[in-house]
């Protein structure tokens, strides 16, 4: 996959980053619905239903993922219509959808996990912003990770959003932050790491939801 070493245009570089930014903000903030459910007593009605709490969490996660993906798709459509940045093939478009789904589901699940332990709906956005901003700025959304200092690269490679943005950028423009690590298949590494992250967040969210008190 020699395209991994192409040089994208400025817009091809920026559009995946903006989509990633939209996905993480929308996804993690969706957890605030849990806190409002607690405040108005609706959570009690949900928790006494004869349904596994893990399934409740999954339902909320899939709902939040759907909203987040719709926002991401609208941005991608706007980028295609207004500035001509669009996946070059059907396979690339499917890859974009897959990465958007994994980013959304993983970070929605993370937001729900935090929401299950926070009681104040006003404090929740403050905590989320404290977590989201470092993840976003170390994701390579607005600058190539390859230009960062070594210590920042090390931190960035522990950031799951970096692999999401990198995967989106690879599908749209054929570039990657990971050519030296993954030879000709960087997008497969991005996908695999996101799958692991997504599964871990779902398990964590399900575990914490089983302990939630309304």
| pLDDT at res. 10 | 85
The whole-angstrom separation of Cα 71 and Cα 61 is: 15
pLDDT at residue number 1: 36
Q: Decide: 174 and 51 in contact? Cβ < 8 Å.
A: no
What's the CA gap between 187 and 175, in Å, rounded? 9
Q: What is the model's pLDDT at position 4?
A: 40
User: For position 180, what pLDDT does the model report?
Assistant: 46
Position 26 scores a pLDDT of 95
Assigned token pair, 197: 């992250």
**Predicted local distance difference test score (pLDDT) of residue 183:** 45
pLDDT at residue number 119: 85
Provide the CA 13 distance to its chain's centre, in angstroms. Answer: 18
Asked if 190 contacts 196 with a C-beta cutoff of 8 angstroms, the reply is no
Strands (E), 81-204: none
pLDDT computed for residue 8 by the predictor: 62
| pLDDT score recorded for residue 2 | 36
Taking CA atoms, 136 is separated from 17, 38, 123, 161, 175, in Å, by: 9, 29, 20, 7, 19
Residue 156, CA atoms < 13 Å, CB-side half-sphere: 24
161, two tokens: 């959003």
SS3 175: strand
pLDDT tens, position by position, for the chain (214 residues)? 334 444 568 888 999 999 999 999 999 999 998 888 888 877 878 877 788 888 889 999 999 999 999 999 999 999 999 999 999 999 999 999 999 999 999 999 999 999 998 988 889 999 999 999 999 999 999 988 888 899 998 999 999 999 999 999 999 987 777 654 444 558 889 999 999 999 999 999 999 988 876 5
DSSP state letters, 75-112 = HHHHHHHHT----SSHHHHHHHHHHHHHHHHHHHHHHH
Q: Quick one: residue 51, left, alpha or beta (phi over 0 = left, psi -120 to 50 = alpha)? A: beta
How confident is the model at residue 38, as a pLDDT? 81
SS3 176: coil
Look at residues 20, 146, 32, 36 and name the one whose alpha carbon lies nearest to residue 75.
20
Q: Residue 139: which of 90, 184, 99 has the closest Cα? A: 99
pTM score, two decimals? 0.89
pLDDT at 9: 83
């Amino acid at each position: 996959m020699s395209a991994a070493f192409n040089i994208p245009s400025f817009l091809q570089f920026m559009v995946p980053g903006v989509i990633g930014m939209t996905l993480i903000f929308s996804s993690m903030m969706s957890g605030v619905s849990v806190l409002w459910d607690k405040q108005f007593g609706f959570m009690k009605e949900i928790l006494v239903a004869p349904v596994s709490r893990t399934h409740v969490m999954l339902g909320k996660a899939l709902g939040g993922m759907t909203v987040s993906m719709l926002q991401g798709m609208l941005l991608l459509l706007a980028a295609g219509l207004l500035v001509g940045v669009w996946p070059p093939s059907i396979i690339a478009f499917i890859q974009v959808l897959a990465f958007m789904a994994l980013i959304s589901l993983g970070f929605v699940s993370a937001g729900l996990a935090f929401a299950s332990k926070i009681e104040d709906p006003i404090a929740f956005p403050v905590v989320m912003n404290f977590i989201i901003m470092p993840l976003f700025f170390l994701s390579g959304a607005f600058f190539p990770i390859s230009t960062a200092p070594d210590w920042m690269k090390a931190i960035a490679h522990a950031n799951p959003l970096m692999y999401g943005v990198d995967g989106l950028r690879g599908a749209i423009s054929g570039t990657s932050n990971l050519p030296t690590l993954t030879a000709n298949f960087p997008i497969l590494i991005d996908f695999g790491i996101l799958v692991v992250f997504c599964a871990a967040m779902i398990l964590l969210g399900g575990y914490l939801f089983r302990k939630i008190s309304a």
